[in-house]
Structure 1
Amino acid sequence: MKNPMFRFLLVLTIASNGGFQIWRTIFNNFAVEISKVDGAQMGIINSAREIPGFLAFAAIYVILVIKEYRLAALSILLLGVGILLTGYMPSYAGLIFTTIVMSVGFHYFETTNQSLTIQYFDKKLSSVVMGRLRGATGLSSLVATGMVYLLMYYLNYAQTFLVSGLLVALIGIWALFENPTDKNIVPQAKKIVLKKKYWVFYILTCLSGARRQIFTVFAIFLMVEHFRFSVSEVTTLFMINNVVNFFLGPAIGKAINSWGERKLLSIEYVALIAVFVGYALIDSKLAIGILYVVDSLFFNFDIAIRTYFQKIGEKADFASTMAVGFTINHIIAVALPAIGGYLWLMNYQYPFWIGAVLSVAALGFAQVIKIEHANEAEGRGVSLDK
């Protein structure tokens, strides 16, 4: 636990996820109740949110002029600024602007977070680190969700966004004065890397982006608009999810080492097919809430995509491929919310049928994973206690 990079990433992960959790918990209700947006507008807003993720490949050029860990710190600062401005710009255009600002910080931190994790920790340890960080997101989200209850009791929407965004921004400022680097880490390629042997990683990453959008946009909007979940009910579901993730995250990291990426991803995709069909067909508020918790549970399994790449990838490609992967992840993610929003106006079930079809495709591609044919040369191992 004394490893400086692990500590650095842990603190920033807590800040990123905690701030985003508060934003996500109240944003849909804020947008519907205060800004009066409809399904199509919500789709556009969420498509705009994914544009910075689509442009994540540009991080390769940013780290030409600043260190990658500095970019991580600046990203957290920008995330906080985007959150704190949200409540004071309630117009449709204002929501798009603040969402993009917040999203630039969130996505560029996630890009650097994933890259630094597989650079600094070897193939066996990285899955454990990712699992612990995912567990930390569960804990930070739990605390953040509790803060929503407390803040919304005393404050209005704008003030809640302000307080939470300010806390995140302060952590970003702290991180700017930290230096957790190790001079022995393999230097990273400062250019965009695309290689044929990574094609399965690219496809699964792209499909993962589509799955994530349906989960984060339409599943929540289904609960708020169609089933009329209140802020407190949505918050309660988030709290349940976070408790599950806190305990499950570290276990997923260990399961990857024990069972392998192909088996875990196959389990995830089979479960998602059932979940998306359930979203489309079930008309019970309680059942939809249960499905959302199950959906969140399997969301943790996607770290297996990154550990798969680490096992087949060349060390110098890690930073570039993580950035390119984030862009690929958002190819569908940028268009899907807008398209799904218009389909929603025709029938709210359509986005979930799309999700089921994409999960079937992902299940098929997951069967191509063959770690045993990958380059098994281990990277430099780094202990969490050093």
Structure 2
Amino acid sequence: MINSSRLEKLRTPYFMLILMAITIQIGFASWSAILNNFAHDQAAFTGADMGLLQSVREIPGFLAFTAVFFLFIWREQTFALISLVVFGFGIAITGMFPSVTGLLITTFIMSLGFHYFETMNQSLQLQWLPKATAAKQLGTILAASAFGQLLIYGLVILLWNVLALPYIAMFYVFGGLTLGLTLFMILFFPQFKQPVIQNKKLILRKRYWLYYALTFMSGARRQIFVVFAAWMMVEKFGFHVHEVAFLFIINVTFNMLFARRIGAAIGHFGERAALTFEYVGLILVFVSYALVNNAFLGASLYVIDHFFFALAIAMKTYFQKIADPADMAPTAAVAFTINHIAAVFIPVIFGIIWLYNPAYVFFAGAGFAVISLGLSQLIPRHPEAGNETLLVKRNT
């Protein structure tokens, strides 16, 4: 049995960040693995319907700046846990409403909790983790969340392919798991002290402009993967729930095994090198998506595409190095809004384009990656306050 002294060692901010990362992935990974097939089989979705749904899902992300105002009521830790409750509830009731309207409503509820949580979570990560070890620790958190995803995708396959549970029961199970783990965290962890009192107002600083630009482009190209690459697996190649889940298992196994090393590599080589590698790879992947007609090759590209997500750690550590410590919470909220400006309209507009020619969607994704690549070259080798971009360096 675990004695009280060992339990106390687990009541740390770092362990809570790990557990929160696992919890959010239990809900989101299961929802993502089931959603496309549920929408296709039960609600007769088209590509345009899926684009509309994903646009609705991103609206709470666009409204993430309002998280700052809730900090007048709750501390960030409390607000993060409340958001997880809303998130889990939205997932649990999804299967009860197998229609376009029903899915739009339940997705909005789920997404509201998800995006408020992610806003608070990013702020807590940048406050609680020391700069010297943040990249490696973020890699460890990513690896832990990948382990949680791995278990969930295995459970999805078991419940669907072996036990043949209906969709409604699947959503009950995974929404319930999310809520149960959140309740455990509420009861187990104390309220941790904040290292720096956060500004409780919206902040836009000129010297953060490159971070804002990279964040905006990240939101634009992320939609190509989240919405249309996943939809291609179902609509074009006919993948079933357990097959989509198996693809996700491959993805998260990689993260579980290598995310910590990727974080350490980012700390060693720097953010510019990591993002350069990511964006060059994404250009090649998106162009290949547009041309692929083979299910195996399409699935392989999907796995390769997901690999580059781990490199997004570099954007977090870049901002941590250049930012005022009191700006973490308000800037996380503003950044999520910026990230979702494109995310609100791209799915619905590109969903219409998809009906005309899916290849155009992926060529546009390659274009987004090209712009991101150009922006990333402005990051200094050693970014810090006063040396946020190479343009600043050249002018000093």
- TM interval, short-chain normalised: over 0.9
Moved more, 264-273 or 99-108: 99-108
- After TM superposition, the structure 1 = structure 2 runs for residues 43-62 of structure 1, keeping only pairs within 5 Å, are 43-62=51-70
TM-score by length of 1: 0.95
CA distance in 2, matches of 1:278, 1:81: 38
2:250 counterpart of 1:234: no
The correspondence for 1:256, drawn from 266, 274, 279, is 266
**Separation of aligned partners in 2, 1:373 and 1:71:** 31
2:138 equivalent in structure 1: 130
- Rounded to whole Å, the distance in 2 between the matches of 1:128 and 1:180 is 25
- Cα deviation, 1:35-76, whole Å, max 9, x if unaligned, reads 101111110000000011111111111111011101111111
Aligned to 1:188: 198
Answer yes or no: is the 8 Å Cα contact 2:321–2:383 preserved in 1: no
SS at match of 1:177: helix
Alpha-carbon contact 2:153-2:249 (below 8 Å) kept: yes
Question: Do the aligned partners of 1:311 and 1:376 also contact (CA within 8 Å) in 2?
Answer: no
Structure 2 letter corresponding to 1:100: F
Q: In the aligned structure 2, how far is the partner of 1:293 from the partner of 1:188?
A: 38
Quote the residue 1:73 is aligned against.
Answer: 81
Q: Given that residues 127 and 307 in structure 1 are in contact (C-alpha distance below 8 angstroms), is that contact kept between their aligned partners in structure 2? A: yes
Give the AA of the match of 1:44.
L
Which residue does 2:213 correspond to in 1? 203
The alignment covers a number of residue pairs equal to: 377
Cα distance, 1:27 vs. partner?
0.4
Do the aligned residues in 2 keep the contact of 1:77 with 1:171 (CA within 8 Å)?
Answer: no
1:282 aligns with 2:292: yes
> Shift in Å at residue 227 of structure 1?
1.1
> What RMSD over aligned residues (CA atoms) do the two structures have, in Å?
1.5
User: Aligned-pair distance for 1:183?
Assistant: 3.1
Name the CA distance, whole Å, in 2 between partners of 1:265 and 1:346: 32
Residues 75, 172 of structure 1: 8 Å contact kept: no
Q: Does residue 174 in structure 1 map to residue 174 in structure 2?
A: no
| Compared CA separation, residues 64 and 184, structure 1 to 2 (3 A) | closer
Aligned amino acid, residue 259 of structure 1: F
Aligned residue number for residue 48 of structure 2: 40
**% same residue:** 44
Q: 1:306-344 deviations in whole A, cap 9, x for unaligned?
A: 110000000000111111111111010111100110000
Asked if the contact 1:200/1:365 (under 8 Å) is kept, the reply is yes
Question: Is 1:269 matched with 2:253?
Answer: no
Residue in 2 that maps onto 1:100: 108
**Closer, same or farther: CA 173–3 of 1 in aligned 2, 3 Å:** closer
Residues 162 and 2 from structure 1, CA distance in 2 versus in 1: closer, same or farther, beyond 3 angstroms?
closer
- Alignment pair present for 1:216 and 2:226: yes
Q: Does 1:293 align with 2:303?
A: yes
**Partner AA of 1:366 in structure 2:** S
Q: Which amino acid letter does the alignment assign opposite residue 174 of structure 1?
A: F
Report if aligned partners of 1:76, 1:171 keep a CA contact under 8 Å in 2: no
**Partner of residue 360 from structure 1, selected from 355, 367, 370:** 370
* Deviations 1:191-224 (CA, angstroms, capped at 9, x unpaired): 0110010001001111111121111110010111
The answer to whether the 8 Å contact 1:76/1:105 transfers is yes
Does the Cα contact within 8 Å between 2:318 and 2:383 map onto a contact in 1?
no
Aligned pairs for 1:82-121 (under 5 A) are 82-121=90-129
User: Could you tell me whether the CA contact under 8 Å between 2:95 and 2:171 is conserved in 1?
Assistant: yes
Match of 2:313 in 1: 303
Residues 246-280 of structure 1, C-alpha deviations (whole Å, 9 max, x = no match): 01211121011100000000000000000000000
Verify the 8 A CA contact 1:117 1:129 in the aligned structure 2. no
What is the alpha-carbon distance in structure 2 between the residues aligned to residue 91 and residue 114 of structure 1?
A: 33
Any idea what SS the aligned residue of 2:98 has? coil
The answer for the alignment partner of 1:22 in structure 2 is 30
Q: What is the SS of the residue equivalent to 1:186?
A: coil
Question: In the TM superposition, what is the alpha-carbon distance from 1:3 to its structure 2 partner?
Answer: 6.1
Q: Aligned-pair distance for 1:176?
A: 2.8
C-alpha separation in 1, matches of 2:333 and 2:138 = 17
Q: Is the 8 A contact 2:127 2:194 kept in 1?
A: no
For residues 193 and 243 of structure 2, the distance between their equivalents in structure 1, rounded to whole angstroms, comes to: 48
Shift of 1:284: 1.1
Counterpart of 1:9 (choices 17, 30, 33) is: 17
Q: Once structures 1 and 2 are overlaid, which stretch shifts more, 172-181 or 315-324?
A: 172-181
CA displacement at 1:83 relative to structure 2: 0.6
Counterpart Cα distance in 2 of 1:100 and 1:47:
10
Q: Which amino acid aligns with 1:55?
A: L
Give the C-alpha shift of residue 181 in structure 1.
Answer: 4.4
User: In 2, Cα distance between the equivalents of 1:52 and 1:248?
Assistant: 31
Q: Which runs of 5+ in 2 are unaligned?
A: 1-8, 388-396
Q: Which moved more, 1:147-156 or 1:348-357?
A: 147-156
Shift, 1:182, TM fit: 4.1
CA deviations 1:137-175 (Å, max 9, x no partner) are 211111010110111132111100011101101222233
**Which whole-Å CA distance do the structure 1 matches of 2:379 and 2:306 have between them?**
24
Q: CA deviation at 1:177?
A: 3.2
Letter in 1 for 2:254: V
